[in-house]
A and B are shown apart, each in its own frame.
Chain A
Amino acid sequence: SQTIHQWPATLVQPVGSPLSLECTVEGTSNPNLYWYRQAAGRGLQLLFYSVGIGQISSEVPQNLSASRPQDRQFILSSKKLLLSDSGFYLCAWSDRVGWDEQFFGPGTRLTVL
């Protein structure tokens, strides 16, 4: 069966510090991968998606970046965090073929102080 992992679960970082959130998927190959951000009490905002290794598409211009160094690994980064980067970050995967449902990880709650 497929599983998706995210870490860390919670993170408190000062403004201006770097960020690295990691997501890995097990039990599937060539997945589509997604990073979402959910502000408190709000909906999901798609940040990045990837259809393959090294292929990243950005949905929203911001100070965040994403990378996919391996087929089932997706990393969200920032060189300098802003207060507005606080939120709940969710990684998700879906099957490469078709428009299947997405499966979400447990999320990372980021607080920037």
Chain B
Amino acid sequence: AQKVTQAQTEISVVEKEDVTLDCVYETRDTTYYLFWYKQPPSGELVFLIRRNSFDEQNEISGRYSWNFQKSTSSFNFTITASQVVDSAVYFCALSEASTNAGKSTFGDGTTLTVKP
């Protein structure tokens, strides 16, 4: 069975600090997909990134970067020079290729608070 663990329930940083959100997953599939979503205070989840299990290349998008390591079953998300607008709940999710309808299992989320 698939499982996603986000051990950090809440993180608080001061603006301009770097912050890393951890995500550890469990799956028996060799083909799977990992996602990160952002849920700002408005409530609507916003897709950030998708990674498949065959692509371990790290990715950078502006101040955001993602570190995918199959050896440790982790898909961590780093925000560089955090800003107040980064305050949100961040969810990591996993979809197994063998799962019907592309269902995703979500972690419980990490609440990030960036203070000015």
- Give the B-binding residues of A (Cβ under 8 A): 32, 34, 42-44, 46, 49-51, 57, 88, 90, 92, 94-95, 98-107, 109
Contact = CB atoms under 8 A, between A and B. Distances in A.
Contact of B101 (A32, A107, A109): A32
**Residue of B33, B42, B101 with most partner-chain A CB within 10 A:** B101
Given A43-B91, A99-B97, A100-B50, A107 B106 contact: no
A109 B42 CA distance: 11
Contacts, number: 58
B113 interface: no
Interface residues of B, number: 23
A70 to B, nearest CB: 18
B57 to A, nearest CB: 18
B103 A49 contact: yes
Interface of B: 33, 35, 37, 42-47, 50, 91, 95, 97, 99-104, 106-109
A99 B33 contact: yes
A70 B103 CA distance: 21
Contacts of B106: 43-44
B99 to A, nearest CB: 8
